[in-house]
Chains A and B, each alone.
Chain A
Amino acid sequence: MKNVWLRNLVALLAVALFGAVGPQTAAAQAKTIKLGCAISFTGAKSRSGKLYRDAYNMAVKQVNDDGGVKVGGEAYQLKIVYYDDKSNPGESSKLIEKLLAEDKVNFLLGPYSSGITIPDSLVARRYRVPMIEGGGASGKIFSHGNKYVFGTLPPAGQYFKSTLEMTQTLKPAPKTLALLYADDKFDVSVAEGTKKLAAGMGLKIVLFEKYAEHTSDFNSILTKIKAANAEMVLVAGHTEESLNFTQQAKELNVSPKLIGMTVGPSEADFRKSLGADANYIFGVASWSPQMNFPGFLLPDTQEFVKKFKAKFNYDPDYHNASAFANVAVFKDAIERAGSLDAAAVRNAIAKTDLKTIYGRVRFAKNGQMKGASVVLQIQGGEVYQVFPDGVRPPIYPFPAWKSRR
């Protein structure tokens, strides 16, 4: 951290002394393809933003080390131009305009979160430049006829599908469900989709409760869950909310038979923060490090997991893998298009059928990836894929808090 500080200070002095020196003086412009990305370095979403940047950078380095992107017999190096969107959608879309108008980037990589992806993708649409994003799954991104945005997360409405399917295999299968969700775009989509799926499976929804994004106190909701006596609780929210929910469930001694969450359990931070209290919680993800697919930039998923861990010193999760796949899709599509023309590349992206470390990437007509989520569970402090094709069987029911230790 210290040297970032120092570097900034030195840069400030340099600017003060020598006047405006452009930040990018490197000239070799002829043979680079610039990818533009406005993503959260600061603000509430900066933690997740980092997950994407790490993977983008790793993928770009891999492409360049392997000889770059080949277009018409010439090899191009990939380069990402980043800006900090300050976790602010208005700021973000402005920066996309800057990337396109001023930095003249060729294509766009997505930001993190559905709420920021929408305004960004509208700029892409205005300029008719394709954007591939791995950080926004809300159906609303793809519902407005925008032909220039492609997403590699499965549709939000389907997130809990695998979890619900799994519960049908459990004995005895839970019958009542409490569904909590944050009021942002992504989680509302998750909740509405899940509600339909649950009704189709004959589950009884005893509580369908929305809470405000960034809520820290779940005591009243937990009290309601206890009163409703729900066997299964599903939470569609963000990492901090998942953390709060879990600790407070313990504080108030609320132990349903199953707790499942969208965002949180797959992330290393979540497990580190909660320690043993994270055990037995179910998560969902479009990907898990226990999968093994043959890859495009790297031989297979396991190779990716190994390299990633060595490089960044944390376990990759689906955010990282999705971001890695975004760059892979660009390389593949640009090479198939055989040109840097935005329209040609867009059409090539739409026709993508690529085996990546993230799985097989194909896009539906609306631009969202075809795919499904898998169920994870934290067991003994590690994440295991438990359904479908689990490496371990799910542990059910959830051992009551009081009976632990």
Chain B
Amino acid sequence: MLLQILVNGLLKGGLYALMAIGMSLIWGVMDIINIAHGSFIMLGAFITYWLFTILGIDPFLSLLFSVTFLFLFGYAVQRYLINYVIRAGAFITLILAFGIEIFINNLALVSWTADVRKVKVSYGAANFAIGDLVTIPTVRLIAFGLVILISLIFFLILNRTNLGRSIRATSQDLDAARLMGVDVAGTYAITFGMGVGAAGAAGTLWSILFPISPMMGGALTLKSFVVVIIGGLGSMLGPILGGLALGIAEAFGSNWFGATYENLIGFTILVLVLIFRPKGILGGTS
């Protein structure tokens, strides 16, 4: 049973990491706390749902569409909205993101109603067992692989391409980057698009595992916060470590104290990490 709890925690952690990786990128590079992150996940989930329901496209295939669409959408949101207020400071962009969240959620609510929907694929609950000890749900394992893949892609883009150099340059010193000829506005928009695209991927996976509805985003944003903070900003390893740490802590915590303590555990860890290791479990102490 202990082994199963550990596996549950790890796989849940993978899902958390997938949710949070986009938020971490956006926060780390641009200092924008994207409160609307969960809403983008919701959009990814609904794109998958509609493609599956209307056109019969397999959710894993629709990953391409949800990521592409959300990348473009994120690009546009940054380019034509957030870029206009970005110099007013992190606090203002945070409230702007809040406005975007309300807008997206309620647009989804008005267009699709609050119905709970489910992508019904035959393999949604597929699993395999290792001996008699552990049962492993396949889709969660795939989510785990996907987050590693995405973080690898992000890592390569950031460290091996010209785009990555621009992103890092703007992140370190916006004015200097501009003087060096970097298209700052465009770089910001691409970064935001990448983060939101990752949210789209998380949405697709989420829709295979859980029921979806327009109001699902808020709770996911809060969880992502915890993951990003625990993992710390500035590295692609951060969200993965943060996700795994939270997943395992929740799995064991809810086993020992009871399932209603899950949130108490998560947010207590968040506050403690902030107080004692504000740069995340990877970073230094101050």
Q: Which residues of A contact B (CB under 8 A)?
A: 1, 4-5, 42-44, 46-47, 50, 183, 209-212, 214-217, 219-221, 223-224, 226-227, 239-240, 243-244, 247-248, 250-253, 269, 272-275, 277, 401
Contacts and interface: CB of A to CB of B under 8 A. Distances in A.
Contact of A219 (B109, B124, B126, B251): B251
B255 A253 contact: no
A210 B260 contact: yes
A247 B209 contact: yes
Contacts of A210: 258-260
A1 B109 CA distance: 10
Interface stretch (B30-38, B115-123, B173-181): B115-123
Interface stretch (B4-12, B195-203, B272-280): B4-12
Nearest to A401: B125
B285 interface: no
A220 B255 contact: yes
A273 B255 contact: no
B111 interface: yes
Interface residues of B, number: 42
A221 B117 CA distance: 23
A42 B12 contact: no
B259 A5 contact: no
A273 B116 contact: yes
A277 B8 contact: no
B137 interface: yes
Given A247-B124, A273-B211, A42 B109 contact: yes
A46 B110 CA distance: 11
Given A239-B116, A243-B118, A273-B116, A43 B215 contact: yes
A155 to B, nearest CB: 24
A212 B260 CA distance: 5
Closest 7 A/B residue pairs (Cβ): A273-B118, A250-B125, A46-B114, A251-B137, A211-B259, A219-B8, A251-B125
A42 B114 contact: yes
Contacts of B137: 248, 251-252
B106 to A, nearest CB: 7
A214 B219 contact: yes
B20 to A, nearest CB: 16
B16 to A, nearest CB: 10
A77 B53 CA distance: 43
B210 interface: yes
Contacts of A269: 115-116
Contacts of A1: 110-113
Contacts of B8: 219-220, 223
Contacts of A251: 125-127, 135, 137, 139-140
B129 interface: yes
Interface string B170-214: 000000000000000000000000000000000000000111010
B29 to A, nearest CB: 29
Contacts of A211: 259-260
Contact of B129 (A219, A227, A253): A253
A244 B255 contact: no
A212 B263 contact: yes
Contacts of A244: 210-211
B280 to A, nearest CB: 24
B260 A183 contact: yes
Nearest to B263: A212
Given A209-B258, A211-B259, A219-B251, A4 B110 contact: yes
B254 interface: yes
B106 A209 contact: no
Contact of A42 (B5, B106, B129, B255): B106
B13 to A, nearest CB: 11
A386 B259 CA distance: 32
A242 to B, nearest CB: 10
Contacts of B135: 251-253
Contacts of A273: 116-118, 120, 211
A209 B115 CA distance: 28
A272 to B, nearest CB: 8
A250 B4 CA distance: 15
A47 B116 contact: yes
Given A219-B251, A243-B211, A47 B262 contact: no
Given A220-B5, A253-B135, A275-B120, A215 B259 contact: yes
B47 to A, nearest CB: 17
Contacts of B255: 220, 223-224
A50 B213 CA distance: 15
With most chain A CB atoms within 10 A of its CB, the pick from B5, B219, B255, B259 is B259
Contacts of B262: 212, 215
B88 interface: no
B1 interface: yes
With most chain B CB atoms within 10 A of its CB, the pick from A239, A243, A273 is A273
Interface string B79-120: 000000000000000000000000000100111111111101
A1 to B, nearest CB: 5
A5 B127 contact: no
B3 to A, nearest CB: 10
Given A251-B135, A253-B127, 11 more contacts: A47-B113, A47-B115, A183-B260, A219-B8, A219-B12, A221-B254, A223-B5, A240-B116, A251-B137, A273-B117, A401-B125
B259 A221 contact: yes
A50 B114 CA distance: 9
15 contacts: A1-B111, A4-B110, A44-B215, A50-B114, A209-B258, A209-B259, A210-B258, A211-B260, A212-B263, A219-B12, A243-B116, A247-B124, A253-B129, A269-B115, A273-B211
Interface string B261-277: 01100000000000000
A244 B216 CA distance: 14
Contacts of B109: 42, 46
A20 B140 CA distance: 53
Nearest to B109: A42
